Structure 1
Amino acid sequence: MLIEFSTTNFRSFRERQTLSMVRGKLKDDDKLDTHSFPFPDKADMALLRSAAIYGANASGKSNLIRALRTMKRVVVQSAGWQRGKELPMEPYLLSTETTREPCEFEASFYANGVRFQYGFSATSERVMEEWLYAYPSGRTQSWIERAWDEGSQSYQWGRMEALKGQKKLWKDSTRDNALLLSTAVQLNCEQLQPVFDWFENTLKIVGINGFNPGFSIKSCEKGERKKEIVNFLKSADLNITDIKVKPKKISANDLPEDMPDDMKQSILQQSEAKAFVDIQIIHEGENGASVALPLQNESDGTRKLFAYAGPWLDVLKEGSVLFIDELHDNLHPLIVRMLVGLFHNSQTNPKNAQLMFTTHETSILSQEVFRRDQVWFASQEGAQGTHLTPLSDFKVRKGAEDIERYYLDGRYGAVPYLPHFYADVSVAMGN
């Protein structure tokens, strides 16, 4: 469960910006049971099940997901990096000051029922700071406090009494370009394992290309999972009655004619040791007859929804935290609404999975679909970089305000400014 994520000095984010999943206290509070769920350790607070991020092209909304992906990558991989390997830091480049400053990332979340606050700052050369605070019984415990001291050219370690085990070994083994969290877990620190596992397993991040269909294909090889995927596709009104999975062996005829012979031979040899399958989508044809179509012959939208089906259901089953860029791409607005709605239903989302996504799809920008604290706007504020603002910061009349129209009219910002578009294009064309 994600509470909030913040980043500073990363790509288009110059100042600290925070995406909060904490349910606000709105005067017109509604959708309390469907769109939110209580904090595990705070009965008077609640977390949201979804958040939608809007913004013009180049506003920086995708950079928020990129920042979280970078944080995850460093947590999961840095313990295995060789000394001297550069950290994947991308500071804000439109200021001579920020290019020399570290990028910073911080996430607050629940793992195994315990609330954690974890973060670090780093340059491409080294981790500058790292901190981890735990709240196992409501009181703060310091598990990691690490800061680089320029004067002594060494790390200073704070109070870390609550972290048990071979702390000296973990500290001595942590390289400049690695995190103590990652290194200690690699050296069998069980206490930090839930924090590491949250980043590696619970947090799912999907780019603009969406999901690879491989997960859904593997799921279709299992009877019960295949039935779930068929029902998922049926609910999208795709006239699909079944999915057939057939073993497939690659032959030379399946490969391009102009492919070099040695490459063909290599692929064919690999196929001998690998199990391939052919997916066929069964539709109801004329007079109730079944018609089988290869997956590759389906529309872009159907193929994309099939690729989404397995992972989407898995996220809901496991109670994962899913970030996805450009959810609307190749999907009908009603399908997008259906996908989001699965997170707002306690029956389809029993473990309180969370969905955060960027989109340009404004048809779902409605008080019928979201609470005001679930909608965020990313906008470029000149030299100050990207700013994130929730819709709840604006005065919105419940039920009476057309949020979609007001957004497109620019009342909330985060839209392209195009007053001279046609004139400028005409000049560029020499007219």
Structure 2
Amino acid sequence: MLIEMSVANFRSLRDQQTFSLMKSSSDELECTNTFSTRAFKTFELLRSAAIYGPNASGKSNFLAALRTMKKIVQESASHYKRGDKLPVTPFRLNAENRGLPSEFEVSCIVDGVRYQYGFSVTAEKVHEEWLFAYPKGRPQRWFIRSWNNEEEKYEWDLGHNLTGEKQLWLKSTRDNALFLSTAIQLNSEQLKPLFDWFDESLRFANVSGWNPAFTASLCEVEDKSRVMDFMKAADLNIDDILVETEAFDSKVLPDDMPEHIKDVISKDLEGKKIIDIKTVHKDSEGKDVVFDLEDESDGTQKLFSFAGPWLDALENGYVLFIDELHDNLHPQLVQFLVQLFHSSKTNPKNAQLVFTTHETSILNQNVFRRDQIWFCEKAKDLSSHLFSLLDFSPRKGRENIEQAYLSGRYGAIPFVRAI
């Protein structure tokens, strides 16, 4: 469960920007859009949040920051070698920032324990890394790592509450690797829940959504009925899904394709299964008519690709990040997808959804609480700023948020000029 995230000096996000899924004191839509956690200190959190703003405002960069944090946690110890560059880009429109590290921090709850974990990195090295845990309500300092420029070495503070082969993990941690990731590689059981949260519970999709293969895999097992229920609930008039898989055969490639291209494709697909997805509709006489998935509309294809990951997130309580959820989807389908997270029936494990969008028809107090709506815009120096609707104190249940947003009251809209 995500509580809060902060990022600084990453792409267009120059100054520290903090995004929170903590519930405010208001009781609006409390039974559907919020939940309480099992942590030692009760946290009331939000099930979703929407981020609005014009194109190129930095919305995607904010999601990319958490995706980058996840990637560094996952791979810095296992995939990177000494001297490899870390995948960070500082704010480049200011000379001072170009030489400073990017900083990331999350506060989350995993298995009833709250963690506060973060690090600052340049492409060359980790400058700082810290982890505090709250297993009994009070903070415990598990480790702090800080680069000393003058002595050109790290200063370490490994708290007594961190157990295991701490000195071995310390000595094994490269400059371009996280201590957390290194300790996991060397079998730290105590740090595993936090690492697994990054590795398994954080899920991302960009504007194109997901590949349909995962949803197709659910249709091959007992979960097909859940996928069909999802598609029917979205009113797509699809009566069945047929999935066929077969091993790749280079003979299906065109005869006139150059041999060197055939070799590359064959090498890449050798031993892999090719998935053929069909949709079934009823004709006027009630007979089945089979279509290729590619014959369906872009919106139907996208929704099918969403079905598997969406159901998987709801079933397992994941945190889902979607960039431009509205793309190729009718506004009512966007609301349908969001409301699945707002229902205790469809979201019993309190999965969370964070998405960027330009779809303003759902920007109202019947769908969202005021603390679930965020905005992103760029300042004159082209740095991105993230802020909450609560900063404007809109009237509960009375203010037309969509109208106020489109009229420019909250900012974060494009200023279009005549050519």
Q: Which has the higher helix share?
A: 1
- Equivalent residue, structure 1, for 2:100: 101
| C-alpha spacing 1:120/1:250, structure 2 compared with 1 (3 Å) | closer
Contact 2:105 2:118 in 1 (8 A): yes
2:176 matched to 1:177?
Answer: yes
Deviations 1:303-324 (A, max 9, x none): 1111000110000000001111
- Equivalent residue, structure 2, for 1:21: 21
Amino acid at match of 1:225: D
Aligned equivalents of 1:138, 1:148: Cα separation in 2? 30
Aligned equivalents of 2:267, 2:161: Cα separation in 1? 54
Deviation at 1:284, TM superposition (A): 1.9
Contact 1:14 1:384 in 2 (8 A): no
Which shifted more, 285-294 or 16-25? 285-294
Deviation at 1:274, TM superposition (A): 3.4
List aligned pairs for 1:266-285, cutoff 5 A: 267=265, 273-285=271-283
- Equivalent residue, structure 2, for 1:142: 141
Amino acid at match of 1:5: M
2:234 matched to 1:236?
Answer: yes
Which shifted more, 61-70 or 40-49? 40-49
| C-alpha spacing 1:203/1:44, structure 2 compared with 1 (3 Å) | closer
Contact 2:247 2:271 in 1 (8 A): no
Aligned equivalents of 2:160, 2:217: Cα separation in 1? 46
Contact 1:78 1:179 in 2 (8 A): yes
Deviation at 1:149, TM superposition (A): 0.4
2:200 matched to 1:201?
Answer: yes
Amino acid at match of 1:7: V
| C-alpha spacing 1:124/1:262, structure 2 compared with 1 (3 Å) | closer
Deviation at 1:261, TM superposition (A): 3.1
Aligned-residue Cα RMSD (Å) equals 1.8
What TM-score, normalized to structure 2? 0.96
Deviation at 1:56, TM superposition (A): 0.7
Identity %, equivalent residues: 53
| C-alpha spacing 1:126/1:231, structure 2 compared with 1 (3 Å) | same
Deviation at 1:267, TM superposition (A): 4.9
- Equivalent residue, structure 1, for 2:364: 366
Aligned equivalents of 2:260, 2:94: Cα separation in 1? 51
- Equivalent residue, structure 2, for 1:429: none
| C-alpha spacing 1:352/1:259, structure 2 compared with 1 (3 Å) | same
Aligned equivalents of 2:55, 2:266: Cα separation in 1? 43
Gaps of 5+ in 1: 426-431
- Equivalent residue, structure 2, for 1:398: 396
| C-alpha spacing 1:380/1:270, structure 2 compared with 1 (3 Å) | closer
Which shifted more, 68-77 or 203-212? 203-212
Aligned equivalents of 2:331, 2:253: Cα separation in 1? 37
Pairs aligned (count): 418
List aligned pairs for 1:288-367, cutoff 5 A: 288-367=286-365
Deviations 1:226-279 (A, max 9, x none): 111111111111111111123446566743454223543675687674333321
2:71 matched to 1:73?
Answer: yes
Amino acid at match of 2:121: A
Aligned equivalents of 2:76, 2:250: Cα separation in 1? 41
- Equivalent residue, structure 2, for 1:428: none
2:123 matched to 1:124?
Answer: yes
